[in-house]
């Protein structure tokens, strides 16, 4: 790939206030893209925006509630209005407002938590991807959609089964969207991170000892970094991946999750 494989492209990264989303946004800026970033926490987004601008690229901060579909669609509309086009969408917003309840097993999790997890990890990305695809089709220049999935979609755990099932569904949608949007020159892929430094992981690994123990369970003996996911997203968004569509790539340092 060239030094700036996304030069003058316009990308959206949802959930870009911190963790993997922030890493994705900065990686895109370093690759030459202007980036629209969205989340619920504006002050954190503004920090990310300054880091994008420090790399010589433009940033657009947009408030988004991932549970509110008009809010999700508005991110795409505002991006196109501000930058004049859209080349890449990264559906990264995730987690759960009820993380601990969301990680209960089948016999314990409430209907409400199951609904919430699927709303956040399936229907919200659906809303963003559809709006983005409509904009890309109207432009007539093609585009790229990247969904951030999880290694748990391939190596499910009973402790996170609602989340795992939602990510399995997202991977299936990735393949279906790739088929439908391919004739419009829109590629759709997903990335499945393993144990990567993020706001969610911080709630689980609360000490240095816990981090070190987790790293020892990974063949490459370290946790994933947001920049690891960013590098793969930049590749998938670039012309180097022009014949890659409908794929889910697991980045987990060789680890399995069960």
Beta carbons within 8 Å of 51's beta carbon, 6+ residues apart: 22, 25, 26, 29
- Cβ(185)–Cβ(228) under 8 Å? no
Beta carbons within 8 Å of 107's beta carbon, 6+ residues apart: none
Distance CA 173, CA 178 (A): 8
Half-sphere exposure of 252 (CA within 13 A, CB side): 22
Q: Which of 67, 69, 155, 163 is catalytic?
A: 163
Active site residue 163: yes
β-pairing, 34-39 vs 186-193, is: unpaired
Catalogue the active-site residues. 163
């Amino acid at each position: 790939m060239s030094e700036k494989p996304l030069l003058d492209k316009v990308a959206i990264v949802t959930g870009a206030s911190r963790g993997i989303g922030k890493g994705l946004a900065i990686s895109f800026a370093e690759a030459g893209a202007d980036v629209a970033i969205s989340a619920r926490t504006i002050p954190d987004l503004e920090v990310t925006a300054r880091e994008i601008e420090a790399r010589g690229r433009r940033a657009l901060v947009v408030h988004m509630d991932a549970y509110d579909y008009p809010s999700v669609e508005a991110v795409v509309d505002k991006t196109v209005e501000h930058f004049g086009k859209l080349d890449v969408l990264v559906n990264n917003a995730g987690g759960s407002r009820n993380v601990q309840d969301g990680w209960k097993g089948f016999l314990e999790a409430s209907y409400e938590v199951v609904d919430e997890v699927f709303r956040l990890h399936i229907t919200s990305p659906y809303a963003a991807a559809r709006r983005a695809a409509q904009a890309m089709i109207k432009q007539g220049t093609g585009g790229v959609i990247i969904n951030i999935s999880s290694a748990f979609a391939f190596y499910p755990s009973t402790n996170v089964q609602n989340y795992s099932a939602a990510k399995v569904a997202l991977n299936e949608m990735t393949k279906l969207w790739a088929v439908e949007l391919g004739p419009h020159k829109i590629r759709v892929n997903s990335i499945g991170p393993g144990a990567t430094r993020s706001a969610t992981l911080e709630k689980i690994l609360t000490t240095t000892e816990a981090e070190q123990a987790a790293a020892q369970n990974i063949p490459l003996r370290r946790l994933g970094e947001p920049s690891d996911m960013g590098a793969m997203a930049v590749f998938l968004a670039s012309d180097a991946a022009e014949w890659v569509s409908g794929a889910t790539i697991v980045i987990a340092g060789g680890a399995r999750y069960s």
